[in-house]
Amino acid sequence: MNRLKGTIQKITSHEGISLVNIEVLNTLFGTVVLDTPQTCNYLGLGKSITVAFKETEVAIALPNIGEISMANQLKCKIKSIQNGKILAKIELTCKGETLISIITSNSSKRLNLKENDTVIALIKANEISLIEED
C-alpha cells in the first residue's frame, strides 16, 4: 500500500458525501469519501492525513499525455523496474518519497519504460483512502 502524508485544504460536502482536497507533495489531490466534517472527526481543514492507495491503482503515463480526467497526478522518476511474465513492479520517486506501481509487463514494454525515465503517476480519486493521523 502506498502511503503519503498530506494536509486537508478544502472539503465540499453534499448529501453525506464529501470531495476532499489534500495537499500531498506540493500537489493537490482529490478523493471522495462517504462522510462529512459533521460525521467524521478527521475531516477538517488544515488537519494532517495519510493518503493511501494500492500499488495496482497507480497508472503510468508518459509526460506529454495532454488533458485527462484523472486529477491526481505526480511527476516521478523511475527508480527501478522488475518486468515479470505478466506484471511489472515499478518503483517511482517523487520529491523524496517512494511509490510503487504495478502494471502489466505488456504495458511496461509498450511504453518502453526505463530506469531514470520521467513519468506521470495517475491515481483515480475513488481509489484513495484517508487514514487519520495519530
Residue 65's pLDDT band (boundaries 50, 70, 90)?
confident
Query: Quick one: average pLDDT of 12-28?
Result: 95
pLDDT tens per residue, range 66-116: 788 888 999 999 999 999 999 999 999 999 999 999 999 999 999 999 999
pLDDT at 9 over 90: yes
- pTM to 2 decimal places: 0.90
Residue 124's pLDDT band (boundaries 50, 70, 90)?
very high
- Domain span including residue 30: 2-132
pLDDT of residue 69: 85
Which of helix, strand or coil describes residue 25? coil
Mean pLDDT of the chain: 94
Which of helix, strand or coil describes residue 105? helix
pLDDT of residue 18: 96
Q: How many domains does the chain have?
A: 1
pLDDT at 6 over 80: yes
- Asked if 70 and 61 count as a contact pair (C-beta separation under 8 A), the reply is no
**Structure-block grid coordinates of residue 12:** 465540499
pLDDT of residue 2: 96
pLDDT of residue 134: 67
The helix (run of H) or strand (run of E) holding residue 49 is: strand 48-53
Identify the CATH number of the domain in which residue 26 sits.
2.40.50.100
**Residue 25 region by backbone torsions, left for phi larger than 0, else alpha for psi between -120 and 50, else beta:** left
pLDDT of residue 37: 93
pLDDT of residue 10: 97
